[in-house]
Amino acid sequence: MTNGNSVRVLAAGDHFILPSLIREALAPELPCEVTELTLGWPLDPFGPVAEVTEASDAEDELIEALTGAQVLVTQMGPVTERVLDACPDLKLVVVCRGGPVNVNLDAAKRHDVRVCYAPGRNAAATAEFTIGLMLAALRRIPQAHDLLARRSSWEGATYYTYEHSGLELEDLPVGLVGYGAVGSRVARVLCAFGARVMVHDPYVHGEIHGLRVTSLDELLRKSQLITIHARLTPETDGLIGARELALLPKGAVVVNAARGPLLDEEALCDALETGHVSSAALDTYVQEPLPPTSRLHALADRVVLTPHLGGASRPVAEKAAAIAAAEVARWSRGEPLAHCLT
């Protein structure tokens, strides 16, 4: 709360959520003095920094830029205990992503720093990307493109033979593991395609698009394609492993644009090598960037691999900046915060 004085804000953006986007979103919301800092992501991968995960390795730069700032708006800034100790003026951190995994929440509480986040910013983008992954995996689009565009080969016509041709979404039994902001959008689009949509999510009640299936095992047994949309928690880590993949019908397709650790990659590679799973499309991985030693690289004819691009759309960056700016404005006016964890 600022008691009517101008707020000093550090817009610690990156090459996706540009500092200028944060500044522009703040301008109509409240009078403030904005300092801009550009962190390296996604050109430089995120990773663990001190005691936080998925952050840019930029503690020193953040500490220097935060001098005198009351508010930090960031996506990848490492809000560690060291940063908090060094920035006594800081009162509010707004993280432009679905969860503040780059913030030490316990330390923030001890320093009386409020921490907010931007839920739902990338739900539409990730849902659309998921549908794209499904179509790419079902119809071998990337493999056919690679043969023709990169190798000047018409060998992709092999995918027109009955043996190698793909499946259609229409009438396909598709199982959704999770039905949150992304999963529910995917379900609506799949229904429009005419897919036979089934959903397993023990935490969602009320009306859904598709058939509710109470047992994950039953969902897997009935699904020719599964797409994963569960939240990553200690309980869901490794949710789809060797046992679960074995329950799928032979030749099933697996899609994951949620969190990498939800899916056992080694078990998936085993299932792809035996042919029990015919193809897979992955946007997230247990370790990111995906190591060159990953077995997935050797399965390029059966997998679609993208480097965590599900949320990579310009509207996502703009939405995130707008959500963050509205939260800063509420804080400055002393109003209740909409998405606050501390």
The residues that are catalytic are 259, 288, 308
For the chain, what is the radius of gyration of the CA atoms? Answer: 22
The one-letter code for the residue type at 327 is E
42 touches 16 (CB < 8 A):
yes
Give strand pairing partners of 92.
Answer: 71, 114
Q: Maximum CA pair distance of the chain?
A: 71
Neighbours of 180 (CB within 10 A): 18
Alpha helices in the chain (DSSP H): 19-26, 59-65, 81-86, 105-110, 123-139, 141-145, 181-193, 216-222, 242-247, 265-274, 314-332
Which two three-digit tokens encode residue 219?
Answer: 């969902």
The one-letter code for the residue type at 88 is P
